[in-house]
DNA sequence: TCCCCGCCAGCAAACGCTTTCTAAAAATGG
DNA sequence: CCATTTTTAGAAAGCGTTTGCTGGCGGGGA
């Protein structure tokens, strides 16, 4: 016996509301609300009656109304730079699972490195009233930060962010994995190792490059400037870079890439030449996307676990959103990285395999 | 002079509301609402005054409140089966751009072929009050449909869906592209062509297989049952299938795959054998994901434009949501597919290249 | 027996907006 | 110059929740 609502003609048939439940359970809507939210001041007997009706009529609380009155939408914003880079879907998936398991919804946005898109993305997130935002673009547009910061918004960044009360930072230990990669190559006998960076305005890209430089000097190798090329974290960028590398008078025997997509581009670029991987050139990626192990040859790469990343991001966000979260005070969250050896790295050409064999590290166990 | 709001202590500082604007513009909130929504019954002079204040104070309407009163959230649901399959991020990106450009937000969900996840996904979408859902899983779980259908929800499916007033269907013309692929292979001289399907409970997977059978008989070729293998649209599935194929007493000279990921798995599986692509076996994919052209060798594949798909999906959804949409009555939306020839197909081994050269079609122009 | 206090329903006031209804003012016509 | 119509601003009623406050009721202590 639904009395027809007044509203505009083109609204969908109204869902069952808290009032309907209250009526059928012969209690007030306040009691229904409290029962549904499992507030302890409601008599267990009554609560049971309410829940029974809830199940019977299929009552689902209206999130919009909830958000309106409580001021919290239970939506987490997740900003990535490029959803079509396979690393991010993996991250998104992990993030989403975790968020949903903890009662949050997630709103995803991809900036495509475009300030205008980013701008509108922030506006949209603000407008939709997200409770906090994880900026996983691995590089922060300053203005983006300012916009959010001034709202006293819970924020999570990767690598670096301003020192502010509402801001938490996921610190990725690039040094660790990249050192492993460099040592692996050096142990194989490589002396000339090139590095293809990401877009250098991203801090994370700079951090990876710096970690490479540091690791190289640690093992006593020098890096001539022409062995560091700027890529852009895409396959196309990797291709362009490797084309420049093979045009070099003195060819490096190994190439380390700032991410896996770049490495895939390198593989592709090399396919067009007479150089074979790993026989002539060894290639190492970064990220360990699922695809890496399916490349030809399977890609040796530094694993940055997106599960770790997602877990840290969600927890850090909640810590910022919920005032009495146990880790509310923790500002830095550490993310480890590790080398995964596959088939795209070998002794440099001309090295005696017999000699090298001993030097080749065992295949890592965590090969996913 | 903000009077402090009552609410719970841990809410964020209240954003500027319609009331603040009304006060500063010395009009009623009704006028502000109308001005902001560009309703024509408001005096242009007044509207200008309102907009000025809106800009000054940075007023952003609260979407939750809007949704609550209007009953429409301006959120579109988008359900995909596997966000980590690169085809879907591309689709998501297109869909999102279009939706945002048309004033909608999008809520993304990935089922991972898991009924429990799907179930909860639907519930979440209902709860968040999405205005309509595009189910782009390329295969529909029946119960999923029922849940949504009974709410008289605007729905968009791919390939097939129940004949109901609120339901629109995107019909992908698999036959077209697959015929082109088969004819391309036949023209090259292939007689033994295998097919690796997707998960056969997906209608789209069945449709692709059937299109293959049909095209084969059209060119007068027979398909022995052992040349049709069931895959699962993942790289792993492609690998497993190709392992079975190379174990066959009589090897086919070409393999057509139900999607690109499968083809990548095939390439990878073949890498471990002595068979080379395309010299010994030609491989054709389906979807034309961005990655396809970066495979070794670049993958010949059937392009299903996710731009076309996304465009159709968004329009079809809006047609279902907005009662006076021009295409409100259109139920079927057609999506074309086309072959893109790259390097993973060649004359079968032993064929005279000189002879074959003439038969090889020109590289398709639409190579992206 | 009476009073005080704790427990726990229910009332009602928000939350920020849209939209209908009302009425004042302006424009038009006779 | 008054009556009638048209225009347009404002008042107010929701939309479906949460939550502070009120008060009825029962129990325990004086």
Question: What does the pLDDT look like over A60-119, one tens digit per residue?
Answer: 999 999 999 988 899 999 999 889 999 999 999 999 999 999 999 999 999 887 878 877
User: Averaged over A151-176, what is the pLDDT?
Assistant: 85
The pLDDT value recorded for residue B363 is 45
| Helix/strand/coil percentages in chain A, nearest 5 | 45, 15, 40
With a cut of 70, say whether residue A10 has pLDDT above it: no
Question: Each residue of A36-53: pLDDT tens digit?
Answer: 999 989 999 999 999 999
- A107/B105 touch (CB, cutoff 8 Å), yes or no: yes
Q: Best mutation site among B8, B12, B318 for testing chain A: the one with the most A CBs within 10 Å?
A: B12
Q: Would strands A155-158 and A132-136 be described as parallel, antiparallel, or unpaired?
A: parallel
Give the three-class secondary structure for B205: helix
What's the Å distance between residue A51 CA and nucleotide C16 C1'? Answer: 30
The pLDDT value recorded for residue A354 is 43
Degrees (nearest 5) of the Cα angle B66, B71, B76? 90
Degrees (nearest 5) of the Cα angle A28, A33, A37? 150
Size of interface A-B (CB pairs under 8 A): 139
Whether B63 sits with its Cβ under 7 A from any strand D atom: the answer reads no
Residue with tokens 């509203």: A7
Where b means 16+ CB within 10 Å and e means fewer, A260-281 reads bbbbbbbbbbbbeeebebbebb
- In chain A, the residue whose alpha carbon lies closest to the alpha carbon of B10 is A323
User: DSSP secondary structure string, A194-231?
Assistant: EEEE--TTSHHHHHHHHHHHHHHHHTT----GGGEEE-
Residue with tokens 């599960």: A307
Least confident window among A137-151, A331-345, B190-204, B262-276: A137-151
- B294/A151 touch (CB, cutoff 8 Å), yes or no: no
- A60/B127 touch (CB, cutoff 8 Å), yes or no: yes
What sign does the dihedral B265-B266-B269-B274 (CA atoms) show? negative
- Look at phi and psi of residue A78 and say left if phi exceeds 0, alpha if psi is from -120 to 50, else beta: beta
Footprint of strand C on the protein (CB under 7 A): A 6-8, 26-31, 34, 41-43, 46, 65, 68-69, 71; B 5-7, 14-15, 17-19, 29-30, 33-34, 36-37, 59-62, 65-66, 68-70
Residue A329 binned pLDDT confidence (cut-offs 50, 70, 90): confident
Quick one: which of A71, A92, A15, A75 has its CA closest to B126?
Answer: A15
What's the Å distance between residue B72 CA and nucleotide D16 C1'? Answer: 14
Which segments of chain B does DSSP mark as H helices, in order?
18-25, 29-36, 44-57, 63-70, 87-101, 115-127, 142-149, 174-188, 203-218, 235-246, 260-271, 306-321, 353-359
Exposed, middle or buried: residue A223 (CB in 10 Å: 0-12, 13-18, 19+)? middle
User: Could you say which nucleotides of strand C lie within 7 A of any protein CB atom?
Assistant: 7-12, 14-20
The pLDDT value recorded for residue B166 is 81
d(CA B331, CA B154): 12
Q: In what order do the strands lie in the sheet with A254-257?
A: A228-230, A193-197, A254-257, A282-287, A300-304, A337-340
- In chain B, the residue whose alpha carbon lies closest to the alpha carbon of A153 is B12
With a cut of 60, say whether residue A147 has pLDDT above it: yes
Mean pLDDT value across chain A: 87
User: Could you say which nucleotides of strand D lie within 7 A of any protein CB atom?
Assistant: 7-12, 14-20
Question: Each residue of B93-140: pLDDT tens digit?
Answer: 999 999 999 999 999 999 887 878 877 888 888 889 899 999 888 666
What's the Å distance between residue B197 CA and nucleotide C26 C1'? Answer: 74
Residues from chain A contacting residue B88 (CB–CB below 8 Å)? 89
- CA A57 to each of CA A15, A32, A40, A54: distance values in angstroms, whole numbers, following the listed order: 10, 13, 23, 6
With a cut of 90, say whether residue A352 has pLDDT above it: no
d(CA A172, CA B159): 44
CA-derived radius of gyration, chain B:
26
Contact A246, A273 (CB under 8 A): yes
The pLDDT value recorded for residue A141 is 61
Contact B317, B154 (CB under 8 A): yes
Give the number of residues written for chain A: 368
Give the three-class secondary structure for B339: strand
User: Averaged over A320-329, what is the pLDDT?
Assistant: 82
Contact A148, A125 (CB under 8 A): no
With a cut of 90, say whether residue A1 has pLDDT above it: no
pLDDT tens for chain B, residues 1 to 368: 333 443 333 455 668 999 999 999 999 999 999 999 999 999 999 999 999 999 999 899 999 999 999 889 999 999 998 899 999 999 999 999 999 999 999 999 998 878 788 778 888 888 898 999 998 886 666 666 666 676 678 889 888 777 777 889 999 999 999 999 999 999 999 999 999 999 998 888 899 999 999 999 999 999 999 999 999 999 999 999 999 999 999 999 999 999 999 999 999 999 989 999 999 999 999 999 999 999 989 999 999 999 999 999 999 999 999 877 888 788 889 999 999 999 999 999 876 554 444 444 444 444 44
- B60/A129 touch (CB, cutoff 8 Å), yes or no: no
Going by C-beta distance under 8 Å and a sequence separation of 6 or more, which residues neighbour residue A166?
A149, A152, A153, A154, A155, A320
What's the Å distance between residue B66 CA and nucleotide C10 C1'? Answer: 29
- B10/A323 touch (CB, cutoff 8 Å), yes or no: yes
Residues from chain B contacting residue A11 (CB–CB below 8 Å)? 70-72
d(CA B93, CA B340): 22
Residues from chain A contacting residue B265 (CB–CB below 8 Å)? 294
Whether A66 sits with its Cβ under 7 A from any strand D atom: the answer reads yes
Nearest by CB to A7, which of B71, B86, B151? B71
Residues from chain A contacting residue B108 (CB–CB below 8 Å)? 108
Residue A361 binned pLDDT confidence (cut-offs 50, 70, 90): very low
Degrees (nearest 5) of the Cα angle A180, A183, A187? 140
User: Averaged over A148-177, what is the pLDDT?
Assistant: 83
Whether A24 sits with its Cβ under 7 A from any strand D atom: the answer reads no
With a cut of 60, say whether residue A15 has pLDDT above it: yes
- B110/A93 touch (CB, cutoff 8 Å), yes or no: yes
Of all protein residues, which has its CA closest to the C1' atom of C12?
A30
Instruction: Please count the other Cβ atoms lying within 10 Å of the Cβ belonging to residue B40.
Output: 7
What's the Å distance between residue A334 CA and nucleotide C4 C1'? Answer: 57
- In chain A, the residue whose alpha carbon lies closest to the alpha carbon of B117 is A97
Give the number of residues written for chain B: 368
Quick one: which of B181, B176, B85, B70 has its CA closest to B136?
Answer: B85
* DSSP-assigned letter for residue B129: T
Query: What percentage of chain A exceeds 70 in pLDDT?
Result: 87
Contact B251, B281 (CB under 8 A): yes
- Cis peptide, bond prior to residue B297, ω within 30 of zero: yes
- Give the closest nucleotide to B68 (alpha carbon vs C1'): D15
The pLDDT value recorded for residue A359 is 44
Q: Would strands A337-340 and A193-197 be described as parallel, antiparallel, or unpaired?
A: unpaired
- A64/B67 touch (CB, cutoff 8 Å), yes or no: yes
Going by C-beta distance under 8 Å and a sequence separation of 6 or more, which residues neighbour residue A195?
A209, A212, A223, A227, A228, A229, A255, A256, A257, A258
The pLDDT value recorded for residue B287 is 96
Going by C-beta distance under 8 Å and a sequence separation of 6 or more, which residues neighbour residue B145?
B135, B155, B157, B161, B162
- In Å, how far is B181's CA from the nearest CA of chain A? 24
Degrees (nearest 5) of the Cα angle A330, A332, A338? 135
d(CA B301, CA A142): 42
Instruction: Please count the other Cβ atoms lying within 10 Å of the Cβ belonging to residue A182.
Output: 27
Residues from chain B contacting residue A153 (CB–CB below 8 Å)? 12
- Cis peptide, bond prior to residue A314, ω within 30 of zero: no
Residues linked to residue B197 through DSSP beta bridges, in sequence order: B230
- In chain A, the residue whose alpha carbon lies closest to the alpha carbon of B101 is A120
- A271/B297 touch (CB, cutoff 8 Å), yes or no: yes
User: Averaged over A122-138, what is the pLDDT?
Assistant: 87
Model-level pTM? 0.88
Instruction: Please count the other Cβ atoms lying within 10 Å of the Cβ belonging to residue B58.
Output: 9
d(CA A118, CA B218): 51
- B89/A89 touch (CB, cutoff 8 Å), yes or no: yes
Give the three-class secondary structure for B203: helix
């Amino acid at each position: 016996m639904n009395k027809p609502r007044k509203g505009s003609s083109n609204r969908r048939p109204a869902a069952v509301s808290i009032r309907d439940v209250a009526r059928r359970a012969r209690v007030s809507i306040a009691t229904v609300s409290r029962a549904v939210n499992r507030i302890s001041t409601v008599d267990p007997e009554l609560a049971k009656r309410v829940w029974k009706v809830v199940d019977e009529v299929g009552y689902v609380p209206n999130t919009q109304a909830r958000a309106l009155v409580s001021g919290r939408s239970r939506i987490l914003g997740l900003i990535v730079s490029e959803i079509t880079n396979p690393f991010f879907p993996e991250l998104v998936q992990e993030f989403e699972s975790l968020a949903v398991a903890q009662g949050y919804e997630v709103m995803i946005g991809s900036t495509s490195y475009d300030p205008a898109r980013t701008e509108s993305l922030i506006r949209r997130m603000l407008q939709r009233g997200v409770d906090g935002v994880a900026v996983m673009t691995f590089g922060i547009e300053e203005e983006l930060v300012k916009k959010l910061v001034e709202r006293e918004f819970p924020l999570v960044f990767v690598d670096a962010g301003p020192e502010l009360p509402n801001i938490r930072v996921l610190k990725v230990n690039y040094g660790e994995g990249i050192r492993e990669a460099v040592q692996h190559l050096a142990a194989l006998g490589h002396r000339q190792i090139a590095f293809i960076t990401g877009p250098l305005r991203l801090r994370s890209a700079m951090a990876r490059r710096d970690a490479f430089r540091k690791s190289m000097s640690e093992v006593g190798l020098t890096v001539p400037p022409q062995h560091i090329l700027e890529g852009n974290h895409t396959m196309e960028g990797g291709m362009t870079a490797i084309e420049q590398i093979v045009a070099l008078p003195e060819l490096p025997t190994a190439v380390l890439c700032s991410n896996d997509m770049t490495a895939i581009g390198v593989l592709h670029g090399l396919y067009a030449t007479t150089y074979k991987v790993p026989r002539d050139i060894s290639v190492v990626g970064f990220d360990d996307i699922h695809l890496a192990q399916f490349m030809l040859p399977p890609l040796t790469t530094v694993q940055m676990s997106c599960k770790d990343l997602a877990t840290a991001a969600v927890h850090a966000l909640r810590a910022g959103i919920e005032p009495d979260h146990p880790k509310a005070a923790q500002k830095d969250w550490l993310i480890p990285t590790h080398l995964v050896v596959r088939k795209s790295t070998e002794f440099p050409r001309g090295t005696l395999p017999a000699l090298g064999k001993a030097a080749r590290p065992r295949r890592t166990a965590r090969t996913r």
